[in-house]
Structure 1
Amino acid sequence: MANEVNAIKSKVDRDKMKRALHGRDRLLFVVGVSLGLRISDLLPLKVGDLRGQDTLYIAEKKTGKRRPIKLNATVRKEVAKLDGEDDEYLFRSKRSHHKPIDRVQAYRILNAAAERAGIAGKIGGIGTHTLRKTHGWMLYENGTDITRIMRILKHSSERETLKYIGIEQQELDEAVEAIEV
């Protein structure tokens, strides 16, 4: 599929992405991967939605449902560094300071960073959805049960979640090969 984007599975590659980004753009990557929100829910966030908070309460655009999202230490630390006012957009446009960047600009930011980091061709497609897929992958990598990841991502089946985060047959085969009785 030509438009398919992938998770950034390697910690080394995620670190390369962070080093290739600065300021607002680095924050976009870190918060995007940490929270696992759809880009339509991520970009309109304001500084005050996160600053001093332990939990983000958001009404998801796609589902219309309000849900709490625990803010991890990484997000709390990054947001604590911000100088902006609470009513400013977290990912403020440089052209219009009263608006957030749009999804096209977010896409360009992530793609340019992947090129600078030298990982663009390595992982396949990169896009705004890469942030959410990487979030799911990191949950999986940390040992989170697939049914919990499914619920976090609001998927209807485990199969959908496995495909979404990029669990491939080779990885399943390696897991079985690792079993010694």
Structure 2
Amino acid sequence: MQLVEAVKTQAEVQQITHKLTLNARGNTLYADLWNFGLQVALRITDLLTITYEEALSGRVVLKEGKTGKTRSIELNSKAQEIVKARRAAHPHHTYLFEVESNRASGKPVSRVAVAVAFKAVGDELGISLGTHSMRKTRGWLMHSAGVSIEKICRVLNHSSPAITMAYIGLTQAEIDATYHEFVI
């Protein structure tokens, strides 16, 4: 399995959104999935199971596939905007991120298809981008904004802050920089 990175700036987040839309020739499925995933920080397999019925309530409650833990996530305003826009564009769909093909009608887009779309954009931009990049990016941007590692740990549902620090990609260079930023 390829190690993927957190996207570390808002400008890169927007650039990825733009490229995902361009590469899909105007279809916003992957760009919407990217932006929604940034808001909820769920693993891709859990993210793809979300239905409109769940999302339109403003809160997603699910049992994580990996951990078996129940998660309850209140959707922020950006996530709710994505849900409403997708519902307006696809009123007949069951899943928030459903396939548009006649062959796979009524099914969510596959994890593999998402990985391929994200990797293609990552390759274009020189970023190791994958389906886990949404979770890592949310963690990194929260960390950059001063949110405590412990709180980020809870958001990502990690068992310890040490796992979270490694997960979001806190590098030795960034740790070294603190010795220059904070001279006492």
* Equivalent residue, structure 2, for 1:54: 58
Backbone CA RMSD of aligned residues: 1.8
Q: Which runs of 5+ in 1 are unaligned?
A: none
Aligned pair count?
Answer: 174
* Equivalent residue, structure 2, for 1:81: 85
* Equivalent residue, structure 2, for 1:70: 74
TM-score by length of 2: 0.86
User: Which residue identity does 2:98 align to in structure 1?
Assistant: R
Name the CA shift for 1:40/1:110 in 2 (closer, same or farther; >3 Å). Answer: same
Q: Deviations over 1:4-59 (max 9, x none)?
A: 111111221111001112311111100111111001101111122212x3321111
Counterpart check, 1:3 vs 2:2: yes
User: Which residue identity does 1:4 align to in structure 2?
Assistant: L
CA distance in 1, matches of 2:59, 2:179: 38
> How far did 1:166 drift?
0.4
* Equivalent residue, structure 1, for 2:111: 103
CA distance in 1, matches of 2:161, 2:69: 21
- The alignment partner of 2:153 has SS state of helix
> How far did 1:162 drift?
0.7
> How far did 1:86 drift?
7.7
Following superposition of structure 1 onto structure 2, how do residues 28-177 of structure 1 map, counting pairs within 5 Å? 28-51=33-56, 53-82=57-86, 83=88, 84-85=90-91, 88-95=94-101, 96-115=104-123, 118-119=124-125, 121=126, 123=127, 125-177=128-180
Name the CA shift for 1:48/1:75 in 2 (closer, same or farther; >3 Å). Answer: same
> How far did 1:85 drift?
3.6
TM-score by length of 1: 0.88
User: Which residue identity does 1:93 align to in structure 2?
Assistant: V
CA distance in 1, matches of 2:74, 2:148: 18
